[in-house]
Every structure is written in C-alpha cells, then in structure tokens.
Amino acid sequence: GMQALIWDVRGNPGGLLNSAVEVLDRFIDDGVLVSTRGRTQDQNSIYSAHAKGTWKVPLVLLTDGDSASASEIVAAALQDHDRAVIVGERSFGKGSVQKLLYLNADKTAAVKLTTETYWRPSGKNIHRGKLKESDEWGVRPNEVVN
C-alpha cells in the first residue's frame, strides 16, 4: 500500500557497494547504477539495473554533509536516473572503494586499502579529494535545505 517513500540517509557514512547496488535495483529498472575503476582492467566493473520487481513509487531522498560512500552511490544513481528528488545538503564526497587485505590466516590483522573509485551513472566521480577546488564533488541536492 505504499504510495511514496521519504528515504533518510543523513548521517549515513555508507556501507557496502553490493548492498547499495541491491537496494538501487529495487527502484531503477534499467541502466547503469554505478561503475568502479581501478588501476588494472580486472578492477573495472559496471553494475546495472534489472527491470524485474522494480518499485515505481515516488521518492524523496534526504542527504547532508555526513552522507557518504554507499549512501552517496544511492543518491547519485537516483538523481542521475531522475528517480528521486534529493533534498538537504551536499553529501560528503567520498568516491573511493576500500578493501580489506588480511595480514594473517586467522584474519585478526588487516590493512584497508583504497583499490578503486566509483563513478556515477552520468560518468562523474564525486570524490572531493581531487575536486574540492571545483564545485563538482558530492551529490548536490535538487532542493537545498540546511
């Protein structure tokens, strides 16, 4: 019976890339959801939507400066596909993917390395590290509310 959804990712520092892709696939029926690029060809991936089971309800997504990583993947894809109105503040601007590399067999010690960057369906990377001098980083809301 849901007729519309207000989705709040304010203060959400992110999560797993695969989880963001799975949840996006429920709301976007076709096209690229996100892609990743690394230093080698085997690190490049494109994650696409599948039409089966897509929810067609109107969406509003709330963001702030603490919305980062996987929550930004969700916001960027919904915005690029004109699937949601983004309301709030510009997101954090974390466009990088980290992986754990375990240092021993019992997995009690690890190093987290940045291995890839993620890219919006529009082809833009939102990471503010390289872009902070420009106005391109983060997900800019359709409606700014502080």
Q: What values do phi and psi take at 24, rounded to 5?
A: -65, -35
Smallest CA-to-CA distance from 43 within 51, 53, 35 is with 35
Please name the helix (run of DSSP H) or strand (run of DSSP E) that holds residue 128, with its range, or none.
helix 128-131
Question: Edge to edge, what strands does the sheet with 32-38 contain?
Answer: 45-48, 32-38, 110-119, 96-102
Which member of 25, 64, 67, 69 is catalytic?
Answer: 69
Is residue 64 within 8 Å of 89, Cβ to Cβ?
Answer: yes
Which member of 25, 64, 80, 91 is catalytic?
Answer: 80
Which member of 94, 99, 106, 135 is catalytic?
Answer: 94
Q: Is 71 a catalytic residue?
A: no
Q: Pairing between strand 110-119 and 59-63?
A: unpaired
Q: Is 134 a catalytic residue?
A: no
Q: Is 99 a catalytic residue?
A: no
Q: Vertex 13, ends 61 and 70: CA angle to 5°? A: 65
Whole-angstrom Cα distance, residue 120 to residue 37?
A: 11
Give the catalytic positions in this structure: 69, 80, 94
